[in-house]
Structure 1
Amino acid sequence: MTVDFTAIDFETANSHAASACAVGLVRVRAGRVVERAEWLIKPPAEHGEFQHWNIKIHGITPDMVEGARDWAAQLPDLVDFVGSDIVVAHNAGFDMGVVRGSCAATVSPTPKFRYLCSVQVSRKTYDIPSHRLPLAAAAAGYGEFHHHDALADSEACAAIISDAALRHGVDDVTALAKATGLRLQTLKAIPLKL
């Protein structure tokens, strides 16, 4: 199997899309993870409040991101890691919303990522009661993992896409989208108000 892509997952400090506080990235080549990266992100001050509920979910606190790079400073590394890959994320609307919102809040150029949602792929691939990440990953044969850890979540997402490609008999993400009746989306910037 030659399926190549990058899986991504963000954790946020609060409910605002521009409050990214962690990212996990997994590069997949021929259906196998070949490189991993993760780092903390310091949210912009105007979106930097860490809500109790978010901390309870992912365990990241304000003190942990105090010395981390902000969105604009880490964005080139994120873009370099993805390169020309198609990006996949579990509930991609959320993760791509984080990219859009964070770029808008920091007046940074929005990368034009092409992306596919593994929740949607899961719905077209597995007959399971819920397509939440732990259940979809289990259906893909991926073992237990630390859910809401950005790197662990991106690896679980990668397992779903790789397994779905096998089940659908395709060898790239574009063909997987077509086989499941989905479309690759392209990330677009939030229009600036003049």
Structure 2
Amino acid sequence: MGVVRIEDGQLADTQYSLLKPPPGHDHFEPGNIRIHGIRPQDVINAPSYGQYWRWLVDRLEADDPDGILVAHNAIFDTGVIRAANQAVGEPARPWRYTCTLRLSRAAYQLRSYSLPAVSHAVGVSLENHHNALADAQACAGIVMDLARRSAAGSMEELAAHYGTKILSANL
């Protein structure tokens, strides 16, 4: 899991950890290994998903209880988080989120809106695509570029400027 926290338009913090999948969800598909390069032996000493998620939520809520999650193709990420939380019996929490894929489609004229393509177009480095922290840093860079272009002072202003929404989900 990779997390980048932006505060007042600046990078404030990053977190990264490999996670041990919940029992019953710990099969490593060869296709996913090819994409991410993460193998079962890589997570032997990693924290469990449940441990890490509780620690991360406590930290994020302490730093910014009104924070908004941002991901590229956020519907995928929110679905994974929801399923993982259900698998470990973690209670669902309401989260607000938005999507850099949707924002990018509204803001830029590109041939592709993949994370590498958008990152490249806005001059954000993405050297290790599919590494969770590298992808999170690329999303943060896209958000900061969009905020600069729109002069938005908040995620709500940014979403409104580009005609997208801040969504809510129980994750």
TM-score, normalization by structure 1: 0.82
Deviations 1:88-139 (A, max 9, x none): 0011011111111011111111232210000000001111101100111122
Match of residue 142, structure 2, among 153, 160, 164: 160
Higher helix share: 2
Amino acid at match of 2:93: P
Cα root mean square deviation, aligned: 1.2
| Equivalent residue for 1:79, pick from 35, 57, 68 | 57
Identical columns (%): 37
Match of 1:99 among 47, 72, 81: 81
CA distance in 2, matches of 1:77, 1:145: 28
- 2: distance between equivalents of 1:53 and 1:33? 33
Quote how far apart the aligned CAs of 1:169 are.
Answer: 2.2
Report deviation, 1:82: 2.6
Structure 1 unpaired stretches of 5+: 1-22, 190-194
Q: Distance in 1 between matches of 2:34 and 2:50?
A: 26
- 8 Å CA contact 1:26–1:37 kept in 2: the answer is yes
**C-alpha deviation, 1:81, in angstroms:** 3.6
* Aligned residue pairs, count: 167
**Is the deviation greater in 77-86 or in 145-154?**
77-86
Q: Which residues of structure 2 form unaligned runs of 5+?
A: none
**Partners of 2:93 and 2:148 in 1: CA distance:** 29
The answer to whether the 8 Å contact 1:40/1:65 transfers is: yes
- Structure 1, 138-147 or 127-136: larger mean CA deviation: 138-147
1:187 partner SS: strand
Cα deviations by residue, 1:23-49 (Å, 9 ceiling, x for unpaired): 000011222212111001111121110
Alpha-carbon shift at residue 167 of structure 1 (Å): 1.1
**1:109 and 2:67 are equivalent in the alignment:** no
CA offsets per residue over residues 56-94 of structure 1, 9 Å max, x none? 111110011112222221112221343221110011011
Aligned-partner Cα distance in 2 for 1:82–1:125:
28
Counterpart of 1:147 (choices 118, 125, 129) is: 129
